[in-house]
Structure 1
Amino acid sequence: HRARLVPILSMGEWELMDNVHWPKMQHFTKPILGFPFPFVPHGAYYLPMPNRPKNGLTTIIGQPIDYTCEHAEVLSVDPPLCVPSEEDVDRAHTIYFDAIQSMFDRYKVECGYPEHTLVLVDRTSEQHPSREGRHSQKQD
């Protein structure tokens, strides 16, 4: 069960589909529902076919990451099963997302997005969508 982590990044994927724009209703419903309603994704000509990204769609596959848990609990089942500690999981996340950030920084200009910034948001972040509304402040 020693699967390696493979960082994969798609550049331009965010341009494939859009959502209907009804800002007042969506701003009102997002803190309540956790997503903006109405949520009606659409592509070209308001049909369910993707838009063509301005710079194309590029998928970048990084080098596989060999990772070994240092604090894993080994369960005596057949085959033996390692249960990673919270510290191991946090370390794996850091290594993986550092690789994603590095790939983004390396290829963003080549892919036609030099002005873009990658924002990685985790569940505990104040920027996480499920936390918006509860912790975000209204901007003037």
Structure 2
Amino acid sequence: MKGVSSATVPSLAGLRALLGHAILLGSWILGTSVVSTSIIVAWLRGAYVTTSLLVLAATHHLVVSTRPWPAFVRAIQSLNLRAYYRRAALYLPKSLPREKTMFCYAPHGVVSCGFNVNGVWAREFEQVDIMWYVSTAFFVLPVISQVVGWKGNLNSASAKSLEKRMRTGGNVGIIPGGFEEATICARGEDRVYLRGRKGFVKFALRYGYSLCPVFTFGESECYWTFPYGVNWRLWLNRFKIPGCAFFGNPVAPLLPRRGTDLLTFVGEPVALPTIAKPSTADVDRWHAVYVDALRHLFDANKVKAGCDDRDLVVL
């Protein structure tokens, strides 16, 4: 397994990486709060023309599809997002699978730094055909939906879109733990939410896909999180409501903490058989095999990541 990028960088590189994070996270914040707040304020002040224009600007993407913009992708990649962290790297196996592989990232963390920095925006994955799957909300909210469209190889994490892709045999990248894994995120611990997450295994069996475990050390260190009331916050997740409160960079709390590591290890794919109609027993068996592979990946690399005193907690 080889490391393909390490971050010992000058301050200018750090500033460029900060700009990259600000653009990506800022597009999310603009869509979820700034735009909606502006519409409400304009309407309350009686500025109905302004309100109409803002609503039009915020919803046009629902009618007009956003085309991929390679120049934007290159611009973000040129900012070297990994340089934001104290130490950041992507460790790959000798070769990346080119078809019928599901790259399963863990943990989700607060804003999925590892998935984004060492996955979606990583140049290394451009050597293989891969579609990344993210929350459906990113395709509905203004601003962030533009960024998602410009990237080109991002899709809605719905069963329908995932199955459509898997019928073609193309690689996919997902975060099996989802919102729940963000909710249980706690600094100083490495937690994954997998016991009740077996749908991805069922899909993999149905279409004969390999499951490739991917783990990011340092994901849980990127933000301070609210540790209490986990059960009721998990209850909120049932309604697709994120159940985590967090605080990152002291100067810009929505950005990750800078003095952290972000080390992502891609394991060897676990080959699964093709079972058109997998039974519950089939799914349970191969789910257990995948969890064991993820544990092995964690244990094999935790010393290298400086986390030798930790164990992977599977909830």
Regarding TM over 0.5, the answer is yes
Q: Deviations over 1:28-62 (max 9, x none)?
A: xx4445469x94322110610001354x1111111
Partner of 1:5: 211
Q: Deviations over 1:78-103 (max 9, x none)?
A: xxxx1211111111111111111111
C-alpha distance in structure 1 between counterparts of 2:218 and 2:235, whole Å: 22
Q: Quick one: structure 1 residues 120 and 53, their matched pair in 2 at CA, closer, same or farther if it must change by over 3 Å?
A: farther
C-alpha distance in structure 1 between counterparts of 2:268 and 2:226, whole Å: 38
> Could you say what secondary structure the match of 2:257 adopts?
coil
> Could you say what secondary structure the match of 1:95 adopts?
helix
Partner of 2:81: none
- Work out the number of aligned pairs and report it: 102
Segments of 4+ in structure 1 off by > 3 A?
Answer: 30-36
Matched, 1:42 2:247: yes
Q: Quick one: structure 1 residues 9 and 39, their matched pair in 2 at CA, closer, same or farther if it must change by over 3 Å?
A: closer
Partner of 2:80: none
C-alpha distance in structure 1 between counterparts of 2:211 and 2:234, whole Å: 30
Relative CO higher for 1 or 2, CA cutoff 8 Å, sep ≥ 6? 1
What is the letter of the counterpart of residue 83 of structure 1?
Answer: K
> Could you say what secondary structure the match of 1:83 adopts?
coil
Q: Deviations over 1:94-114 (max 9, x none)?
A: 111111111111111110111
Say if 1:58 and 1:111, in contact at 8 Å, map to a contact too: yes
C-alpha distance in structure 2 between counterparts of 1:39 and 1:103, whole Å: 27
Q: Quick one: structure 1 residues 114 and 85, their matched pair in 2 at CA, closer, same or farther if it must change by over 3 Å?
A: same
Matched, 1:83 2:277: yes
What is the letter of the counterpart of residue 51 of structure 1?
Answer: R
C-alpha distance in structure 2 between counterparts of 1:35 and 1:116, whole Å: 28
Q: Deviations over 1:16-36 (max 9, x none)?
A: 112257xxxx45xx4445469
Percent identity at matched positions? 28
Say if 2:233 and 2:244, in contact at 8 Å, map to a contact too: no
Q: Quick one: structure 1 residues 39 and 6, their matched pair in 2 at CA, closer, same or farther if it must change by over 3 Å?
A: closer
**Which one of the candidate residues 287, 290, 296 is aligned to 1:96?**
290
Higher helix share: 2
- The unaligned stretches of length 5 or more in structure 1 are 73-81, 122-140
Partner of 1:65: 270
Partner of 2:221: 15
What is the letter of the counterpart of residue 223 of structure 2?
Answer: M
Return the TM-score normalized by structure 2: 0.29
In the TM superposition, what is the alpha-carbon distance from 1:2 to its structure 2 partner?
A: 2.2
Q: Quick one: structure 1 residues 34 and 64, their matched pair in 2 at CA, closer, same or farther if it must change by over 3 Å?
A: closer
In the TM superposition, what is the alpha-carbon distance from 1:64 to its structure 2 partner?
A: 1.1
> Could you say what secondary structure the match of 1:58 adopts?
strand
In the TM superposition, what is the alpha-carbon distance from 1:12 to its structure 2 partner?
A: 0.7
Say if 1:15 and 1:52, in contact at 8 Å, map to a contact too: no
> Could you say what secondary structure the match of 2:256 adopts?
coil
C-alpha distance in structure 1 between counterparts of 2:259 and 2:299, whole Å: 19
C-alpha distance in structure 2 between counterparts of 1:43 and 1:119, whole Å: 23
- The unaligned stretches of length 5 or more in structure 2 are 1-206, 237-242
Say if 1:13 and 1:53, in contact at 8 Å, map to a contact too: no
Matched, 1:113 2:284: no
